[in-house]
Structure 1
Amino acid sequence: MRIFKPIFKYICMMILSVITATFSYILIFNPTNISLGNFEVTSIFIFFAYVVFATPIQFFLHRNPQKFNLLHLIIYFVLAFIVCSILALYIDYGLVVFISFKVYLFSFLTALIFWTWDSLFLKK
């Protein structure tokens, strides 16, 4: 049974990260359209972004695990900002993305959320 404990912790960390990041996204970018459908679609996109971009960095950083390491938070923030900027440029926001306070705020919040849940669940 001990073999499933790290998997269970990772799943819990990922679910809580996605739910928290989805709430922050909806409150920052679309506070007037809060619905279950909007929440589901947004959470699916955030889940894939965390799995594709944050999880490989997480595995790399777990070679030297430390709880609440600020260097890890900075690495997560830089990666989150790059991903958010590329996605915003891709969905045709244009160069406005670099002067928008919301993109910086959302990038920092997603990094902070992932870093916090990662430190609480997966680091010893």
Structure 2
Amino acid sequence: MGTSILASLFYFIVLYPYFSFIGFITVSIIYFFCFLVFAVPVQVWLRKRPKRFSINHLLIYFSAAFLVTAILFLIHDNPDFASAFLLSSFHAFVFWLLDSLILQYKKL
């Protein structure tokens, strides 16, 4: 849930000019379910070979995040791939960082 809150904050600070609490909660919930569906399976797969701060893991997280973000942007007729790149880079970095620092010490 922490990753979805950080992603929502990033979204509202960088990409969306207006902040609303209801929008923040809504975007956090959407991010939570997107991370649950797309990022957690990648994370479980990568935990079979755990490495802290692995650049390969970061690239895999980025590839998955960019693919999902690009598909969502295309579905919503938003061809701004610079925003998709920025958003997916941030998501991959935060997910990778939290995975390397915290989650590798806990068992799923």
* TM-score normalised by length of structure 1: 0.80
Asked whether 1:67 is paired with 2:23, we answer no
Structure 2 unaligned regions, length at least 5: none
Count of residue pairs brought into register by the alignment: 105
Q: Does 1:16 align with 2:2?
A: yes
Structure 1 or 2, whichever has the larger Rg, is 1
- Which consecutive unaligned segments of at least 5 residues does structure 1 have? 1-14
Task: Kindly state the Cα deviation for residue 120 of structure 1 after the two structures are TM-superposed.
Answer: 1.1
Pair 1:118-2:104 in alignment: no
Deviation at 1:66, TM superposition (A): 1.0
* Cα deviation, residue 97, structure 1: 3.0
Q: Matches of 2:46 and 2:10 in 1, distance apart?
A: 25
Percent identical across equivalent pairs? 38
Which structure carries more relative contact order (alpha carbon 8 Å, separation 6+)? 1
**Aligned counterpart, 1:9:** none
Root-mean-square deviation over aligned CA pairs: 1.1
Please state how far the C-alpha of 1:26 moved relative to its aligned partner: 1.2
8 Å CA contact retained: 1:28, 1:106:
no
Note the C-alpha offset of 1:28.
2.1
Deviation of 1:92 (Å)? 1.6
CA contact (8 A) 1:25 1:106 kept: yes
Runs of 4+ in 1 over 2 A off after TM superposition: none
